[in-house]
Amino acid sequence: MTLTIVSLLPSLQNTNGDAENAAVLAARAGWAGHDARVVPVERAEDLPSQVDAVILGSGSDASLETSRTRLLEVHDELRRWGTEGVPILAVGTGWELLSWGIERPDGSTVEGLGIVAGRAVAREGRIAGDLVVKAGGGLGLLVGFENHARDYVGAEASPLGRVQAGSGNGRGSGQEGLRMGDVIGTHLHGPVLAKNPKLADAMLERICVRAGSTYEPGAQALVVDRYADSARAAQLRAAGVAASVGA
């Protein structure tokens, strides 16, 4: 059996390399002895018959309307995947497009797909810099880079984690991201799964369980993770966050 990881709209939603999270999942699955492939999906007709995970990266505001139109073609599938427990990782504007909607500074709005709770609202000034989040479920500290001009409201009951450095969802919430079942939305760019192997492995565990299999990180993953650990340690130092916070 081959695990199929869908990368949604990679030509539009890959501003910060977020679409490459799909490649991270496929590589780690391969190191664990599982066959895996990444399928780029630009239009509904590109969808494979089997979907085991979905990655939706972040794009520019200039592409919001086009991306929304394309995503509407697979709206029913996105809703079904979320209900059936297919792991979905949406980053930046990809996450915002799955929400109730996006509010622009000029007062205009882009209606979201309504897959997850909450909405993106304009803020004064852009936030860009290191973002460190303490997540539950044994994930510890997640690191990445945030770059957004909107806050996210309405996700208070189900955040990905608590902000240790950076802004996250903003508005004084102290929270970052959203987690609804196996659907994750986040401001963590990177790609986040390369920087945070525990999050990648948690997704792969769910993917394999749904596929009737098991997941155990391969030997190559342990080698690669040492590089990720070094990069994470450097980012934590730069952000002024002690590694022990995530223990």
Residues recognised as catalytic: 189
Ramachandran quadrant class, 167 (left: phi over 0; alpha: psi -120 to 50; beta: rest)? alpha
Quickly list H helices, the chain: 21-31, 64-72, 75-84, 93-97, 192-195, 197-210, 219-239
Say if residue 105 is preceded by a cis peptide, omega within 30 of 0. no
156 in Cβ contact with 174 (< 8 Å): no
CA–CA distance from 87 to each of 22, 93, 97, 209 (Å)? 11, 18, 17, 11
Kindly give the pairing relationship between strand 2-8 and strand 53-56. parallel
Is 126 annotated to bind ligand? yes
CA 32/CA 107 separation, integer angstroms: 48
DSSP state of 189: B
DSSP 91: E
Residues making up the binding site for substrate: 126
